[in-house]
Chain A
Amino acid sequence: MANGERERSLQDADLAFFGKVAASISHELNNTASIIEQAAGLLEDLSADGGPPLERSRAREIAERIGKQARREGGIIKRLNSFAHSVDEPEREIELGEAAQAVAALALRMAQGRKVALEARPGAGRIVIRRSPFGVLQALYLSVEEAVAASPQGSTVTLSAEGAGAAAVVVEGGCGGQGPAPGDASFPSIEALMGRLGGRLSVSTRDGRLSMRLTFGS
């Protein structure tokens, strides 16, 4: 592939990833907005002219429902905001345990759709690298997506930050899902991304489970 063509293909992949995350977050926001709208509608129904007086405990209970969803929405917006700012700088310091946690939150809905749980494990101490925040999130997210596809329903995919030797995140998933069997797996787009980040991806199987090590170096 010519350099210009490769660059365009990487830009397309970046945009596709941005779109995927934005669509997922907008679905989550739509769900909370739907609940808030129905709860507000219920309050309106119950306080309509000519109806029985609205009990205070009932009004409080509905207000709590609205408050709960508003808080949930606040969390989603915080995630969206942090993701949107990942493109602000070409490089900055990133703590890998925090990056793993951010990706676990971003990918939660995708994993829930396949009934797979996600668990982010911080490293021992802070593991800091200097890279493109957007690139790191993208490489981790795509790896989680592959691990989730390889995992059966009811299993857990883990993201573990590791600082011993070279800084890395290890993404591990089960086997028996819809993705390729761990032994046959190859991930050229993640390899290309890791190459762009000055790191590398190594894939192995441990006890039949898919293990993807994303090494970023120091």
Chain B
Amino acid sequence: MDPVKVLLVDDEEEFTKTLSERMEARGLKVRTASSGPAALELLKGMSFDAIVLDMMMPGMDGIETLRRIRELDASLQIILLTGRGDIQKSVEAMKLGAMDFLEKPVDLGKLMEVIRAAQERKRGLDRERTQKSIDDILDSKGW
């Protein structure tokens, strides 16, 4: 089975560096980005099972990045990392289509669980999309 592919987005590079090392040691394939625009650039050429996105980033914040990612591909599964007491923003993120949110400092075991759930959901959506494409072709050709 392919490894779970994760994009980790946070302006704290020491955080992404350390967390990605721990995730890779658990068999995940991790890419990191230090800003919203950098994440969007990576998403143009790569596919991920889950995107772990920090809410508070300078310039384009987590909410705006989430909005732009969803515009790019609504099937992408986004997990928000929030500070303590960011309940209002977390609710806003869920309304915008985030899959889940976790408070920082994040427990890696819990994050791994949510990432696995994201992978299942993403792959389910991909299968549905593929099936729909096949159905559309079959319908249009009248076979």
Interface residues of A (CB under 8 A from B): 23, 26-27, 30-31, 33-35, 37-39, 41-42, 45, 65, 68-69, 112-115, 153
Instruction: Provide the bound-state CA to CA distance between A27 and B84, in Å.
Output: 8
Report the contact-size class of chain B (Cβ under 8 Å from the partner): 10 to 19
| Contact of B58 with A30 in the complex, beta carbons under 8 Å | no
Inter-subunit contact B108/A30 (CB<8 Å):
no
Q: Which of A31, A41, A65, A153 contacts B108 (CB 8 A)?
A: A41
Check if B58 sits within 8 Å of A42, measured CB to CB. no
Interface of A (DSSP majority class)? helix
Give every chain B residue within 8 A of A33 (Cβ-Cβ): 104-105
Q: Which residues of A contact B85 (CB under 8 A)?
A: 23
Q: Which of A41, A69, A114, A153 is close to B14, meaning CB atoms less than 8 Å apart?
A: A69
* Contact between chains at B104 and A115 (CB < 8 Å): no
B14, B19, B84 interface centre (most CB from chain A within 10 Å)? B14
Contacting pair A27 B14 (CB below 8 A): no
**Interface of B toward A, CB cutoff 8 Å:** 12, 14-15, 18-19, 21-22, 25, 56, 58-59, 61, 83-85, 104-106, 108
* Complex CA distance for A113 and B105, rounded to whole angstroms: 20
**Given A30-B104, A41-B22, A113-B58, A35 and B15 touching (CB < 8 A)?**
yes
| Least CB distance, A156 to chain B, in whole angstroms | 15
Residue contact A26 to B12, C-beta cutoff 8 Å? no
Chain B residues touching A, majority SS? loop
Q: Given contacts A35-B12, A42-B22, are A113 and B104 in contact (CB under 8 A)?
A: no
Query: Contact between B104 and A34 (Cβ–Cβ < 8 Å)?
Result: yes
From A23, A37, A115, contact of B59 by CB (8 A): A115
CB distance from A90 to the nearest CB of B (A): 31
Chain A residues with Cβ under 8 A from B25's Cβ?
45
Contact A34 B56 (CB under 8 A): no
Determine the distance from Cα of A30 to Cα of B22 in the docked complex, in whole angstroms: 19
Complex: chain A residue closest to B81, CB-CB: A34
Q: Quick one: given A30-B84, A35-B15, A65-B14, are A113 and B56 in contact (CB under 8 Å)?
A: yes
In whole Å, how far is A13's beta carbon from the nearest beta carbon of chain B?
Answer: 21
Chosen A-B contacts, 27 in total, with CB atoms closer than 8 Å, are A23-B85, A27-B56, A30-B104, A31-B12, A31-B104, A33-B104, A33-B105, A34-B106, A35-B12, A35-B18, A38-B15, A38-B18, A38-B19, A39-B14, A41-B18, A41-B22, A41-B108, A42-B21, A45-B22, A65-B14, A65-B18, A68-B14, A69-B14, A112-B58, A113-B56, A113-B58, A115-B59
Q: Is the CB of A30 within 8 A of B18?
A: no
Q: Looking at the complex, which one of A34, A45, A114, A153 makes contact with B15 (CB distance below 8 Å)?
A: A34
Contacts of A26 in B (CB 8 A): 83-84
